[in-house]
Amino acid sequence: MVDSIKVAVRLRAPSKREEDLSPIVQVVSGNTVLAKSVDQRGFSRNFHFDHCFSSSNDPEEDQEKLYDSLGREYLLHALDGYNTCIFAYGQTGSGKSHTMNGQPSAPGLIPRLCKDLFEVRDLLAPTKDGITVELNVKCSYLEIYNEQVRDLLAGQDANNSISSCRVRERLDRTTFVEGLQEFTVHTVDEILDLLEQGNEIRVTEATHVNDRSSRSHAIFTIALDQKEISPLGQVLERKSHIKLIDLAGSERASASGSKGERFKEGSKINKSLSSLGRVISMLAKKNKPKLIPYRDSALTWVLKESLGGNSKTCMIACISPCDYEETTSTLRYATIAKSVKTAAHVNSYETSEQKEQMELMKRQLNDLQETLSELKDQKAIQDQMEKIKLTNDFLEQRIKREREQTVEYYDQLVQASTERDQLTQVLLSIAGSIQNSDLSDLAPVIERLQTDSRILGSKIDSDLSFCNKISGLT
């Protein structure tokens, strides 16, 4: 998804030092800032952004408004699986640390986001479809001081020095900080303790402009690892991170009164911010050059992905009300940043666990199909057996019936045979009497009767022997 860097401007109220100065900039609507010219010609210019925030008398309410309008949106993007980045940019003393960290009485965007994150985590009960969501949170905290990347959570050695790390490039051209420690956190208190621990170590000094000026760029990263587990055990994994960055402020040595070590720090800060400006200008071009000078500073090298790659990024340009040069420079810079495009995408992965689950399910499906076809075969055999049994029953009934009929027929035949024998005797005696008398006219009739009786007799005999054979009564 092609995204533009979202740009918000935050104007702080005049400080005590600025009480006698007249403001040259004002927020005229939710997305417009008016910068008044300070020269004789009196030209004013409107700058338009995604959000513009002014300051009220209630810092806590202002902080909440800023978080609700911006911070939560980027937390939700991260929970959706997008890498996100919010960085506060602006001149020294313009309110970057106030915006990102704030104070206990008016917490800034980072502590609010951490609190919100754990509140959301606690709400991740299984959904109605039985999907369980596991959210693991890790965090790391680094600063870039004098072009050195230092782990703010690694602790200090005996000489109070902080371990430094190298920025490396992966094969896919993204960069990472080698050796940076990541801590798994389970509660909002744990993550806020680590934030506090890092803030205490981070280099800050008093300057003419700011009593507690950050002398380093600080990057607090929250890594989210979410697993959605379906009731069947399928796992969908989403990995994302939220980079929350409080940049050191650009400064004019004359205004900040920097000398010695402070001057050296200031020039390193300005150098890395110039390099950030150059990268942003190049990325904002319609025909952006193939070679973007990310390697020019540790800051741009660490932020390579957040500025021009896979990230939804937001810049909060902090401005002071009375410094025309610095404020208009920040507004111009912010205007250029609006044109920078990034290519954020959801970082979801088919985990190997899920692949294994899929394989297992495929195997189970095959087994089930085989069992089903076996059952089908058994059913066919059963059906066949049933048919055979029915046929058998039918045949048995028929045989029984035929046997009964045969016995009945046999009895009739036996009786007929007896009657035949008796009749034959009668006929023979009649025939004898007739031969002795002269009833020769009856001779053919008698002969025919004798023949019929023989034919009938032999039929009865053959039927009897057939009956005996089939009924087994012999």
Q: What residues are paired with 106 via a beta bridge?
A: 103
The structure tokens 């109220």 sit at 13
| Contact call for residue 199 and ligand ATP (CB under 6 A) | no
Pairing of strands 175-178, 164-169: antiparallel
Phi, psi angle pair for 233, to nearest 5° = 90, 5
Q: Fill in the per-residue mask, 27 to 66: x = in contact with ligand ATP (CB under 6 A), - = not in contact.
A: ----------------------------x---x--x----
Return the SS3 of 272: helix
Question: Among residues 83, 140, 175, 214, which is the contact residue for ligand ATP, using CB under 6 A?
Answer: 214
* Closest of 344, 340, 217, 345 to residue 279, by C-alpha: 340
Shortest gap between Cβ of 357 and ligand ATP (angstroms)? Answer: 49
Stretch in the footprint of ligand ATP (CB under 6 A) among 7-15, 68-76, 189-197, 446-454:
7-15
What tokens appear for 17 in the block?
């030092």
Q: Indicate the burial class of 332 (C-beta count within 10 angstroms; 0-12, 13-18, 19 or more).
A: middle
90 labeled binding residue: yes
440 labeled binding residue: no
Question: Judged by CB, which is closer to ligand ATP: 35, or 316?
Answer: 316
96 labeled binding residue: yes
Question: Judged by CB, which is closer to ligand ATP: 12, or 243?
Answer: 12
Question: Judged by CB, which is closer to ligand ATP: 94, or 272?
Answer: 94
Angle, to 10 degrees, between the axis of helix 109-123 and the axis of helix 188-201? 160
What tokens appear for 197 in the block?
């621990």
81 labeled binding residue: no
* Interatomic CA distance for residues 11 and 330, integer angstroms: 11
Q: Which of positions 104-163 make contact with ligand ATP (CB under 6 A)?
A: none
Question: Judged by CB, which is closer to ligand ATP: 186, or 264?
Answer: 264
Question: Judged by CB, which is closer to ligand ATP: 62, or 323?
Answer: 62
* Interatomic CA distance for residues 250 and 207, integer angstroms: 13
Shortest gap between Cβ of 52 and ligand ATP (angstroms)? Answer: 13
Q: Which of positions 249-268 make contact with ligand ATP (CB under 6 A)?
A: 249
Shortest gap between Cβ of 63 and ligand ATP (angstroms)? Answer: 8
* Closest of 6, 2, 89 to residue 313, by C-alpha: 6
* Interatomic CA distance for residues 246 and 169, integer angstroms: 23
97 labeled binding residue: yes
* Binding-site annotation, residues: 90-97
* Binding-site annotation, residues for ATP: 90-97
Instruction: Enumerate binding residues for ligand ATP (CB under 6 A).
Output: 12-13, 15, 55, 59, 62, 90, 92-98, 210, 212-214, 248-249, 318
